[in-house]
Structure 1
């Protein structure tokens, strides 16, 4: 079979043809390679240069190479932190015509490090805790999208510094499976593999003298489980609140946002006697809300604005008599969303006098009003409603804000 290059970018095949595919990866000349630290892998992996890009090339059989390529592309579409799949090369032969293994090509993740390189100097326990946090977040993100990793470990993860913390990226999807939803058993199996793998990797570091003496490999293996379960519980639990305490729902949403997750939609149910409200969030990765709000309402906003507006929209829809999710006779979300724009969003924004708005656009004005309502509701310990919040905002907040001199004037002083 002739050499075939399947790539995500039309420009890549021409660049990739310059690489020595007739040689096993272990024999590639140094002038093609980039000296970057590599983690432990069951396959031969090399970093090489293709045009202006640095790529990772992994040698493996054709079927798993094609499968991992498609899985990585799926994860990219789902917004999961993972390496970018660039292509697969099949039909490789050496100069004698004997077959060589296929290769999977991914883009090198700039600024990332395999965990072993991070332990070249003894890592402090506090830094290791941040690594475990990052890996727990990655595993939860994967499970929320229905991806069973099958081999979660430090070796199959790349870490990149992120404003004092670490971000974890999946680098090996060979053993993974994508499902509509994972069962508890599938999640627990993944978690148990992570515990065993991490403890084993840390024991190996301990044997080489690269582990801080205060770190117990078994305890750290168990810790990934407790961190994962705590995060999963916070993201997926059902909350029951007293009726009228809608600011409690917003408090929960803020906690989820602080963890780096957004709430795509909410299920809000009133008890039969009306005393309690049950709240079930559907959690997604950041970046979802801007597109969702634009699709539903036509409002083009910044991401944080969209998150707040969608939260308010979902809460408002749950109070409408014709809102019946799953009922073909109920109003569609798009219909209700446009009604919310017409009956709630626009009248509320128009209530703020033009001369007090400054440079704020309508979405920012509404966002500020929602923030003010939340603040007043927290102080009053009950939901005060939007009308009262708008009046207080106009009377007590905007005049003071307008009294503050512009930044240029302050600088001039």
Structure 2
């Protein structure tokens, strides 16, 4: 390392100093580079192993790096799904005293993939639609927070599997700007940018033979506009009805919760005659189910995964007639007797395939299909063995950092202490 580096970071990892900052990023040695799939970027980006995890290093100007670092930190405080900013490093110089570009360092999101790497051969039309839907949810959340993206695209987004759907994370905030609130014109501008960029990205996949040629890529790209408008209206639009239909207030709340959003405040007003009621969500936030799961069990999962795990928890409570007991106590019992044993039953060499909550969701699906095909209640232990050998073992690894193996493989009899409770259902 040459020269005197300037490092801006909330918490500095000392191992950052050991990286070859005196070299241009394009010639960094292979021993520090992590071989991960990358999306398309206007700047040079390399993945690097650091302290047992992976970081993405992007060369850019000092001004842009600092600005994006600050924006990402602000978005994190607003609970917006985005990559974790690690540091900005400026004042880089080569051994011959030549000035090198500054860099932004972000932590790579485990189990996430750029859209081009989600499928090794071809992207199915329904998968493309789900990616666009996930991006629409992210864009709505950004706009509610007052963030104008300016370069909405699949390429600037990372995707994580979420119980059959996808969750989208912002990965590039370079063109973004945070305001107190966005005008309709700003929102429409972002929407048009998204529509054009997505159409171009899907057409590019088609030209490379990775997307069916007979699929209308423009129509799929147009889908983000329709999905966005539906979500925006549901989350921010007002609704008027007769005072006798006050049940519609709860119906509105339930619809928002089903979309994965929670309500902190509702504005409820009556007209002069007292016969009409108008409601409008004032503050909305995503993650209703994931926050409930985290509060009850300590498990951190995506929204759809959390909904699926909570449904399984509710089935457990109903099966053992534990409704009269404290919910948190029963939830921790479910984790100890059901979720954790299933996680331990996954062989160590397969633990990097999918994150634990996604494995559990897929296992429940697999068990249901087994029961349907065989016309019997399949015990959970049997379903785990079948899922591991017939499904999980044949998936590619989606985790980028392999943690040290610490747990022993659970035997089938350990999955539930006394009996497979689901055979009662």
Q: Same fold (TM over 0.5)?
A: yes
8 Å contact kept, 1:2–1:92: yes
State the shift of 1:289 in Å: 11
**Pair 283,95 (structure 1): closer, same or farther in 2 beyond 3 Å:** same
**Pair 22,36 (structure 1): closer, same or farther in 2 beyond 3 Å:** same
8 Å contact kept, 1:290–1:302: no
**Pair 119,408 (structure 1): closer, same or farther in 2 beyond 3 Å:** closer
State the shift of 1:106 in Å: 0.4
SS at match of 1:135: helix
Cα distance in 1 for partners of 2:289, 2:245 equals 24
State the shift of 1:302 in Å: 5.7
| Alignment equivalent of 2:324, drawn from 354, 358, 363 | 358
8 Å contact kept, 2:260–2:289: no
1:164-210: CA deviation from partner (whole Å, max 9, x where unpaired): 11000000000000011000000000011111111111111111111
**Pair 81,290 (structure 1): closer, same or farther in 2 beyond 3 Å:** closer
**Pair 240,408 (structure 1): closer, same or farther in 2 beyond 3 Å:** farther
State the shift of 1:246 in Å: 2.2
- The structure showing larger relative contact order (alpha-carbon pairs under 8 Å, at least 6 residues apart) is 2
Does residue 64 (structure 1) correspond to residue 64 (structure 2)? The answer is yes
**What stretches of structure 2 of length at least 5 have no aligned partner?**
298-321, 331-416
Cα distance in 2 for partners of 1:249, 1:196 equals 37
1:261-294: CA deviation from partner (whole Å, max 9, x where unpaired): 1111010001111111100012422468999xxx
Cα distance in 1 for partners of 2:234, 2:252 equals 9
8 Å contact kept, 1:261–1:283: no
Cα distance in 2 for partners of 1:95, 1:229 equals 54
State the shift of 1:227 in Å: 1.2
SS at match of 2:244: coil
Cα distance in 2 for partners of 1:231, 1:45 equals 33
8 Å contact kept, 1:156–1:172: yes
Does residue 241 (structure 1) correspond to residue 241 (structure 2)? The answer is yes
8 Å contact kept, 1:149–1:175: yes
Does residue 2 (structure 1) correspond to residue 12 (structure 2)? The answer is no
**What stretches of structure 1 of length at least 5 have no aligned partner?**
292-300, 304-355, 365-406
User: Residue 279 of structure 1 corresponds to which residue in structure 2?
Assistant: 279
8 Å contact kept, 2:5–2:90: yes
**Pair 186,224 (structure 1): closer, same or farther in 2 beyond 3 Å:** same
Q: Compute the TM-score of the two structures, normalised by the length of structure 1.
A: 0.70
User: Residue 346 of structure 2 corresponds to which residue in structure 1?
Assistant: none
SS at match of 2:274: coil
Does residue 160 (structure 1) correspond to residue 160 (structure 2)? The answer is yes
8 Å contact kept, 1:264–1:288: no
**Pair 111,302 (structure 1): closer, same or farther in 2 beyond 3 Å:** closer
Cα distance in 2 for partners of 1:76, 1:50 equals 22
8 Å contact kept, 2:235–2:284: no
8 Å contact kept, 2:147–2:179: yes
1:67-115: CA deviation from partner (whole Å, max 9, x where unpaired): 0000000000000010000111000001111110000000000011111
Displaced runs of 4 or more, over 3 A? 286-291, 407-411
Cα distance in 2 for partners of 1:289, 1:161 equals 16
Cα distance in 2 for partners of 1:410, 1:93 equals 63
8 Å contact kept, 2:149–2:175: yes
